[in-house]
Amino acid sequence: MVGRTDSLIRVLKPRDFPIALVVTIALTLLLTTFMAERVNSYLLNNSRQEALQDTTNHAEAIRHALQHELIKFEVIAQAIRSVIERQPNLSQSEYQDLVAPLVETSPSVINVGLSSGYVVDRVFPFEGNESVLGVDYRTLPTQIEGIDHVLNSGETTLLGPVDLIQGGTAFVQRSPYFIEGDGSGSSPSSGVISVIIDRETLLSRIVEGHGIGDHDVAIRKLDPNSNPSGILYGNDDVFKQSPVLNSLPIGSKAWQIGLVPSDGWPKDVSASALVWALSAVTCGVIGFLLLALWTIYKSKRTVENQLRSAINSIEDGFALYDQDDRLVFANDKYANYYNLTHDAIFPGNTFENILRAGLKAGQYSEAIGREEEWLKERLAAHRNPTEPVEQKLADGRWLKVAETRSPEGNTVGFRVDVTELKQAQQRAEAANQAKNNFLNIISHELRTPLTSVIGYARFLENLSVLRSYKALEQAMTTSCDIETRKRALAELHSEVASMSNRITTSSDHLLNLINDILDRAQLEAEKIKLHPEPLDLKDLVKTVTTGLEIKAAEKGLTLQTDVAAVPMVADPKRLRQALINVVGNAIKFTESGGIHISSEHDESHVRIMVRDTGCGISAEDFEQIFDQFVQVDATVTRRNSGTGLGLAITREIIALHGGKIDVESNLGRGSTFTISIPINANELEIAA
Ligand code: ADP
């Protein structure tokens, strides 16, 4: 079966489809996931970068603001120091006037105290801090060490947070000041400027005043070894969430600021889940679609295969051509019928191309010599199909070509092998023709001798009309000469004898004819039985030639035999009859030259060859001359007489002996008939 879809699925075979499905889904899954992961990781990186940058910026801003604020406290202390070192006796009210503008922009400052030596003797603001005045650091064991450190080192220190008496916690910045003794006798002195800073106010103001946005902020202290040593602001948990860290050195220690986005850092978990979910959905959809396609394809293939195998199993050729007259598919039978055009019968090729290939290869016997004309007629019939037509192929087969147009404009073609039917029809026609010929011939062959017999018999009935009789009558009445009378009688006798002879010859001919017809009839009815008996081939052939020598001699032909003395078992009467037919024909159809009978034999068979130099037989007549009533050339035959039964009878007789008869011939140069039969007819299971 050749079909268009075969070529369409050449790349993907049906059995590969499930594998292709799985591979496609897997690849799609991998690809989709890979792509999604790439996109996700890109987005994630971006958002992480953004978050990191944003958080870093905030941390830096807080650190900067904090530093700025602490510097401000130092500036306050420095300002007080520079004044107090020049005016050590500054009164409480002067001190207040000095400090008030300095702390105006620092709301986290609770108070600023000033000690002369270890005793606090001035404070701002005075209100609410009256109790501070007079405090002697030497009576405060928790503070004396810090005070001494400040005085000894001359450095400003920031302590805390420390618990306040009035509640809350605060940082304490202490800065020393030193007063040189002057010439008037005052001795050098020193003291400490203490700036008390409310922790909550300081840190909240700074953190919240710098737009921390959606961030969680925590500030903790680090010891000189950079280990955390207490939380200053916010929740310690911030430091457990991979915060952005920024440190602010405070002496040998530091404050560490930690910042994280309030919602945490961008996570890839949800994105990955989304990616996988998307991949799964995509693959599901693709898988479903492919499965649906596969199911449709499979059911289509099943129907198509059923149709194909049904079409392929029909005994006749089938082909379908589309609207453009291109072959859609054809079954094997179709392609086999047109064996010379086999290569051109493929889907997609046009009907015209296939015909042209056939014409080139000599596929269509009727087209030979008139190819273009035939092509036009054939195409016209194909495009407007009407009645089925018969087509003769190069190999002698006959096809019945039936074509119809479908409503869609396709052409459906059937090719039915009608060779046997055609041959039977031809045989029937030939047989009919042969019978007609036979009737013509037979009526002639019967009438001619019968007319002679009747005519001569009438003469014999009424001798008085004969010239010789009249001569005898006259001699008897007018002449007394005995010799004259004898001569007249002899003439009459001769004429009567001649007539009797003609009657006998015609009767013999008639008898032969009737015998032939009867033999043939018997053979047809299978009534002839062989009576095999031992005989010698040479002797048998001799009896044949003896009877025919005269005929050959009459035509001036030689009749030679070169036959071996082969003992054999056969029906002598029938074998002789067969040989007489063949040798008789050789004489009958030879005008000059001669006939040569020879033999060959082996252990099982003997072959008798009858060769003549006669008119010969054309090759196309070889087979049919053995059919009954067939005469090749009516003119020659008529001249030679005959019934067309001889060879048919001969073949039957030879076949009954288990043998066969063949002919070889060159037209105009002669023929050789070869009879081949078993040496012992009894050993064969023949019809005898
Ligand atoms: P017929 O009675 O006509 O001879 P046959 O059956 O014997 O009938 O022969 C059939 C035909 O075969 C003959 O009519 C003749 O045309 C042809 N034929 C037979 N033998 C020969 C031959 N030796 N040479 C030429 N033609 C022959």
Residue 577: CATH number of its domain: 3.30.565.10
Task: Output the pLDDT for position 633.
Answer: 64
504 plus 634 within the same structural domain: no
Query: Which ligand 1 atom is nearest residue 586's CA?
Result: 23
Same domain assignment for residues 647 and 543 = yes
Specify whether 590 is located in the same domain as 648: yes
> Are residue 208 and residue 328 in the same domain, yes or no?
no
Q: Is residue 175 a part of any domain in this protein?
A: yes
Please compute the mean of the pLDDT values over residues 259-270 and round it to a whole number.
77
Tokens for 606? 């003997």
Complete DSSP assignment for 275-342: HHHHHHHHHHHHHHHHHHHHHHHHHHHHHHHHHHHHHHHSSSEEEEE-TTSBEEEE-HHHHHHTGGGG
For residue 95, the domain's CATH number is: 3.30.450.350
- Specify the pLDDT at position 686: 40
Of 313, 347, 363, the position where a domain reaches its end is 313
Whether residue 517 lies inside any domain: the answer is: no
131 and 272 fall within a common domain: yes
Residue 684 lies in a domain: no
Q: In this predicted model, what pLDDT tens digit does every residue of 367-406 receive, in sequence order?
A: 989 999 999 999 998 988 888 888 888 888 999 999 999 8
Q: Do 597 and 666 reside in the same domain of the chain?
A: yes
pLDDT at 12 over 60: no
pLDDT of residue 564: 94
- Residues 338, 365 contacting (CB under 8 angstroms): no
Please state the domain count of the chain. Answer: 4
Answer for the pair 635, 642: CB distance below 8 angstroms, yes or no: no
Among residues 361, 385, 417, the one where a domain terminates is 417
Q: Note the pLDDT of residue 448.
A: 78
- Ligand 1, atom 14, residue with closest C-alpha: 631
Q: Are residues 302 and 339 in the same domain?
A: no
Domain at 387, CATH number = 3.30.450.20
pTM beyond 0.75: no
pLDDT for position 687: 38
pLDDT tens-place string over residues 337-350: 898 888 899 999 99
Q: Which atom of ligand 1 is nearest to the CA of 615?
A: 25
Closest atom of ligand 1 relative to the 581 alpha carbon:
7
Which of these ranges, 46-50, 564-568, 609-613, has the smallest mean pLDDT? 46-50
CA of 245 to the centre of ligand 1 (A): 129
Q: Could you tell me the CA-to-CA distances from 436 to 454, 516, 634 in Å, in that order? A: 26, 17, 13
Mutate to test the pocket of ligand 1, among 442, 621, 631, 636 (most ligand atoms within 8 A of CB): 631
Same domain, 354 and 396: yes
Domain housing 281: 11-313
Quote the ligand 1 centre to 613 CA distance (angstroms): 14
Q: Average of pLDDT values for 423-428? A: 86
- Locate the ligand 1 atom nearest the alpha carbon of residue 643 and give its number: 2
DSSP letter for each residue of 426-493: HHHHHHHHHHHHHHHHHHHHHHHHHHHHHHHHHHHHTGGGSHHHHHHHHHHHH---HHHHHHHHHHHH
User: Is the Cβ–Cβ distance between 605 and 678 less than 8 Å?
Assistant: yes
346 & 431 share domain: no
Average pLDDT, rounded, for the chain = 85
Residue 685 lies in a domain: no
pLDDT for position 13: 59
Atom in ligand 1 nearest the alpha carbon of residue 673: 23
524 within a domain of the structure (yes/no)? no
Distance 539 CA to ligand 1 centre (A): 25
Q: What is the DSSP annotation of 515-558?
A: HHHHHHHHHHTT------EEEEHHHHHHHHHHHHHHHHHHTT-E
**Ligand 1 centroid distance, CA of 431 (Å):** 17
- CA of 650 from ligand 1 middle (Å) equals 11
Q: For residue 309, is pLDDT > 60?
A: yes
Q: Is residue 522 part of a domain?
A: no
Residue 217 has pLDDT above 80, yes or no: yes
The answer on 250 and 109 residing in a single domain is yes
Q: What is the torsional sign of CA 617, 620, 622, 626?
A: negative
Averaging pLDDT over each range in 130-134, 159-163, 208-212, 603-607, which range is the top one?
603-607
- Report pLDDT for 7: 41
Residue of the CA atom closest to atom 22 of ligand 1: 586
- Count CA atoms within 13 Å of residue 306 on its CB side: 5
CA of 502 to the centre of ligand 1 (A): 25
Residue 216, CA distances (Å) to 46, 61, 69, 519, 625 in order: 21, 14, 21, 132, 122
Ligand 1: residue whose CA is nearest its atom 13: 631
Compute the average pLDDT of residues 562-587. 94
Q: Is residue 336 part of a domain?
A: yes
Return the higher-pLDDT residue of 266 and 657: 657
Q: How many CA atoms lie within 13 A of 665 on its CB side?
A: 24
Which residue has tokens 């029809």?
Answer: 425
User: Given 313, 347, 367, which residue is the final one in a domain?
Assistant: 313
Asked whether residue 321 falls in the same domain as residue 400, the answer is yes
- Residues of the chain with pLDDT > 90, as a percent, come to 35
Pocket of ligand 1 (CB under 6 A): 581, 585-586, 589, 612, 614-615, 617, 625, 630-633, 637, 642-648, 671
Asked if 529 and 493 touch (Cβ cutoff 8 Å), the reply is no
Q: Report the C-alpha gap between 239 and 352 in whole angstroms.
A: 89
| Residue 434 or residue 3, greater confidence | 434
DSSP for 157-208, written as a single string = EEEEEEE-TTSSEEEEEEEEEEE---TTSPPPEEEEEEEEEEHHHHHHHHHH
Residue 364 pLDDT greater than 50, yes or no: yes
Percent of the chain clearing pLDDT 70 (strictly above): 90
Give the model's pLDDT for residue 272.
63
Q: Whose CA is nearest to atom 20 of ligand 1?
A: 585
Identify the CA nearest to 609 among candidates 596, 620, 622, 621. Answer: 596
Average pLDDT estimate for 153-181: 85
Looking at the DSSP bridge assignments, the partners of residue 679 are none
In a domain, residue 37? The reply is yes
Residues 86, 58 share a domain: yes
Q: Which two tokens stand for residue 679?
A: 């040496």
Task: Give the distance (Å) from ligand 1 centre to CA of residue 510.
Answer: 19
Q: How far is the CA of 585 from the centre of ligand 1 (A)?
A: 6
- Pocket of ligand 1, candidates 437, 582, 625: which has the most ligand atoms within 8 Å of its Cβ, to mutate? 625
Q: How far is the CA of 441 from the centre of ligand 1 (A)?
A: 14
